[in-house]
Chains A and B, each alone.
Chain A
Amino acid sequence: MEALLTLLRLQKAGNAEAEYEDASCPDENGRREGAELRFAIADGASEGMLSGAWARVLVELHCRFDWMGGSVEQFLESAYGDWQSFTSEYLRGRETRNSPVQWYEEPGFEVGAFSTLLGLTLTGRSQDRSGAWTAVAVGDSCLFQVRGGALLRKFPLEQSADFNNRPVLLASKPAHNGQAIGAVRRMSGTFEPGDVFYLMTDALARWALGEDEEGRNPWTVLRDHATRDGPAFGAWIAALRNDRELRNDDVTVLRIDLPGREPDRSPSA
């Protein structure tokens, strides 16, 4: 099985590039091949410390975790371990740089970081380029499966009205995750050659669902942008933000194109 990956991302207007707090895995464009392909995006909450780093921990873990044999609780246990390693190194770095944690940072470090997670696994059958997908989600990052230019499946949110500013998210501290574990959603389906999957963080996902609900096909627009360069995507997002069609937030789109059917090589009659 193979897939062509296109990653488009842009930080919130007014923020520096380094302040982007979404994450994706893989985090670069290109062709992927394998019997099983993993993809994930995550959206670190603007409230909370080091949310972008926590988002990165989650997407990277999703792409190597044994979901067949492991539970959500086991996934989180591994994530807490990765987080502990990251924060220890981060805090050592602060000491080395003589940049001690300030009083106003302490409550945030105490509470920890929060993030969405949306993970997709594609399992292919080599003979006909079709196969099965499974997805796992916490929060409001969304998966869309598009076939023949039309929306086929949407997960976990189904309507643009379902978005709000208070999603349940995965926390870096176990004490905050009771609600989140119960909020983990799973979905599965099948794919055909030529299908396109989009993984999107909330701002653009909300826009896309809204456009689809209004009968304006956003998938054509997104397909065109996914083939252009970064600046064009940035200008398009900036225009949507200026027109207040898009909430000013970090934007991440991971587009996964599956190749179409191979040409029929059977001898003509």
Chain B
Amino acid sequence: MSYTAEISRKNPSCFLFLIDRSGSMADPFGEDSKKRKADQVSDVINRLLQNLIIKCAKQEGVRDYYHIGVIGYGMQVGPAFAGALAGKDLVPISEVANTPARIETRSKKGDDGAGGVTDQTVKFPIWFDPVAHGGTPMCKALTQAQSMMQGWTSEHPHGFPPVVINISDGEPTDGDPSAPAESLTQISSSDGNLLFFNVHISSHAASSVLFPDNDETLPDDHARLLFNMSSRLPEFLRTFVQQEGIAVSENTRGFAFQADLVTLIKFLDIGTRPSNMR
């Protein structure tokens, strides 16, 4: 059975993020003209990393259930970590946890414990700031991802398959990325094929879409391109997504339009999760 390998420090899995840092990311994000697509990309990657790290946190430390890589593509294609992690391909998640560029505080609405709502401040670590410069060499980024992930799966042949998440506006400038995306999803461990998911950050005003099972409702060709490159959700993920109230079919893909994929992280199985834990 696929996607049942244990994820532990002894048998870690891997997350690789591809982030579009091209010039077109300076365009407005959705209807919100004050926010650029590049701002949204950095919000999405920072939030995904934050949630993944919290998932692996225990008292007094973060357990290295995952190794994390980030490839940026724009003026250049390559490892995008800054600071102490600069130039590194894949790093244990505890190192990422301990080296954010800075920690901001943000406010959010929270339960006041008495049926009301209260403003709370939460810490929001920042690893990536917005960048928008150069072309969109997505094909080159996918080829680089393929090489890294082949290396990972040859070193972890029986591990839980790597997850690659591409965050982009879907406007590549170096050709059709469908073929390199297809090659990427052919990489596998004995536990299943690599999972390739896409987060589409768009200037389009259409409302957000999460885990669709066809491309008919998507607003443009860029969204359709990214949707069709994305892996179909394996059964265990379809079950979880369905529990979140999203209708699924065998064609449901790991694709989000104007949304993030934080939902997916909640369902990574690294042990017992109480059903009364929110």
| A105 touching B274, Cβ below 8 Å | no
Give the size of the chain B interface in residues (CB under 8 angstroms). 31
In the complex, what's the smallest C-beta–C-beta distance from A223 to chain B, in angstroms? 28
Which segment of B17-25, B51-59, B128-136, B248-256 sits at the interface? B51-59
A123 at the interface (CB under 8 A from B): no
Which of A78-86, A175-183, A230-238, A258-266 interfaces with chain B?
A175-183
List, in ascending order, chain B residues with CB within 8 A of A179's CB.
275-276
Cβ–Cβ contact B57 & A114, under 8 A: no
User: Is B123's CB within 8 Å of the partner chain A?
Assistant: yes
Which of B36-44, B210-218, B265-273 lies at the interface?
A: B265-273
Interface contact A114-B62, CB-CB below 8 Å: no
**A168 / chain B contacts, CB cutoff of 8 Å:** 274-276
A138 CB to closest chain B CB (Å) equals: 10
Determine how close the nearest CB of chain A comes to the CB of B35; give it in whole angstroms.
24
A76 → chain B closest CB, angstroms: 13
Among the stretches B3-11, B149-157, B189-197, the one at the interface with A is: B3-11
Please provide the chain A residues from 1 to 49 with a CB less than 8 Å away from any CB of chain B in the complex.
12-15, 19, 43, 45-49
Q: Cβ of B57 and Cβ of A105 under 8 Å apart?
A: yes
Known: A14-B8, A107-B54, A176-B276. A46 touches B270 (CB 8 A): yes
User: Is B274 within 8 A of A169, CB to CB?
Assistant: yes
Question: Which one of B97, B269, B270, B275 lies within 8 Å of A104 (CB-CB)?
Answer: B97
A114 vs B62: C-alpha distance when bound (angstroms): 19
Q: Is the CB of A106 within 8 A of B123?
A: yes
Determine whether A217 belongs to the interface, using a CB cutoff of 8 Å to chain B: no
Residues from chain A with a CB closer than 8 A to the CB of B59 are 49-50, 105, 108
B103 interfacial contact with A, CB 8 Å:
yes
A14 cross-chain contacts in B, Cβ below 8 A? 8-11
Beyond A175-B113, A248-B8, whether A167 also contacts B57 by CB under 8 A is no
For A171, the chain B residues whose CB sits under 8 A away are 274, 276-277
A228 beta carbon closer than 8 Å to chain B: no
Q: Is there an interface contact between A104 and B6, defined as CB atoms closer than 8 Å?
A: no
Report whether B274 and A167 are in contact in the complex, using a CB–CB cutoff of 8 Å: yes
| Chain B: CB-nearest residue to A139 | B274
Complex A-B, nearest 6 residue pairs according to Cβ-Cβ distance, in ascending order: A46-B271, A14-B10, A114-B274, A166-B275, A169-B274, A104-B57
Further contacts, 10 of them, CB under 8 A, given A47-B55, A166-B274: A12-B8, A13-B8, A14-B9, A47-B273, A104-B53, A106-B123, A165-B273, A166-B272, A167-B272, A175-B113
Cβ contacts A to B, 20 pairs, < 8 Å? A13-B8, A14-B8, A46-B271, A46-B272, A46-B273, A47-B273, A48-B277, A49-B59, A94-B60, A99-B60, A102-B57, A104-B50, A104-B53, A104-B57, A104-B62, A108-B54, A114-B277, A165-B272, A167-B275, A176-B274
Q: Hey, which bits of chain B sit against chain A, CB under 8 A?
A: 6, 8-11, 50, 53-55, 57-60, 62, 97-98, 100, 103, 113, 123, 125, 269-278
